Each structure stands twice: as C-alpha cells, then as structure tokens.
C-alpha cells in the first residue's frame, strides 16, 4: 500500500509555556503538526526548528493563531477543547479512525490501546493503535498522552520529552499515578 502524501505547510504560529516554546503548523486544509514545548527551547529555536522541517511556512493565519492560543491556555492549566480543522491528507483510513476516537477522550480521562481497538471493532489491533499514536503529528489536539498500557503503564510517547512529558501532561489533567508511574483507577 502506498503511503499517503504529506500535506504542504504554509502557516505557523508559536506559543509559550512554563516548559518552553512550542509551535503549530497548518496548510490550506487545516492543522498539520503540533510541536510540544518539552524540548525546553526558546521561541527563536522553535521558529528555526519549524523552518527546517517545514520550509514553506512564512507567516501565521487565523487557524494557527487560534490553535497556539488554545495550547498556551492548556499549558497554563486551563481545561481546553480543540475544535480545530485538521488536515488529514497524510493519514491512513486506520489512523483517521483511531485519531477520531482518541480526540473524543475527555480531559482528565485515559483509555488503553486495547479499549480504543475494541471501540473500532478491531479487538486485536492494540499494537496498530500504538503505531498510529506513535505517528500522531498533532499531540494534545489528538491527545495520545491519554492512551496507556493495559495495566495503566506509561508506554512510549513519541512527542518531545517522551514518557516524562506524558506523565506531566496526565498529572496536569488531574490523573493520579502510583509510585511506579502507572495510572491509578
């Protein structure tokens, strides 16, 4: 099967958080990528990083500005929803379905990979859900940090900061973790 084409980025905005600067990138059809602030960089470093990965970005637009403002509020501790247009051009049909289900997980809640697979009607596809989460270009908007292993364990997190940032995000949302870093039911 041929891999879907990556969407073309035209716009970007930056946002600030206590952890550092982050960024968002969009094209004509919607958001393409979110960069989390966990790398600890400043605005100039984030701008350079986005320019390197998306050289076609030149300025902001209403969507990137709105997304950046929502992410800034989220990282300030506000309970925020993200009703934003997403460019799904590069998503496979499986990823699209996974991302739709994960995007519907409420703030402060978690599900397991197996639960998401079962909701899709694919009980044995927990690994496929994990693969889709690892390729999620829109963390927080598609809250892959809210997906945990079967026993509440933290599994891989491909966004900046890895599992440490996943723990921080869950605790920011009021999720309790035990001494081993597992979600407490």
Q: Which helix (H) or strand (E) holds 185?
A: none
Distance CA(71)–CA(183), nearest Å, equals: 24
H-assigned helices in the chain: 43-53, 62-75, 93-103, 113-119, 126-134, 162-172
- Quick check: 44 and 98 in contact, CB under 8 A? no
Q: Which residue is catalytic, options 59, 67, 122, 144?
A: 144
Annotated catalytic residue 144: yes
Residues involved in catalysis: 144
């Amino acid at each position: 099967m041929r891999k879907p084409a990556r969407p073309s980025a035209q716009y970007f905005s930056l946002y600030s958080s206590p952890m550092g600067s982050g960024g968002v990138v969009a094209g004509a059809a919607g958001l393409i990528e979110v960069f989390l602030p966990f790398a600890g960089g400043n605005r100039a470093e984030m701008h350079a990083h986005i320019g390197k990965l998306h050289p076609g970005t030149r300025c902001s637009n209403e969507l990137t500005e709105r997304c950046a403002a929502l992410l800034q509020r989220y990282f300030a501790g506000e309970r925020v929803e993200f009703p934003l247009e997403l460019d799904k051009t590069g998503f496979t049909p499986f990823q699209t379905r996974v991302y739709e289900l994960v995007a519907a997980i409420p703030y402060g809640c978690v599900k397991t990979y197996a639960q998401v697979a079962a909701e899709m009607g694919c009980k044995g596809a927990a690994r496929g859900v994990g693969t889709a989460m690892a390729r999620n270009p829109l963390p927080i908007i598609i809250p892959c940090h809210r997906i945990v292993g079967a026993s509440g364990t933290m599994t891989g997190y491909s966004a900046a900061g890895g599992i440490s940032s996943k723990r921080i995000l869950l605790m920011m949302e009021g999720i309790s973790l035990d001494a081993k870093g597992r979600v407490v039911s």
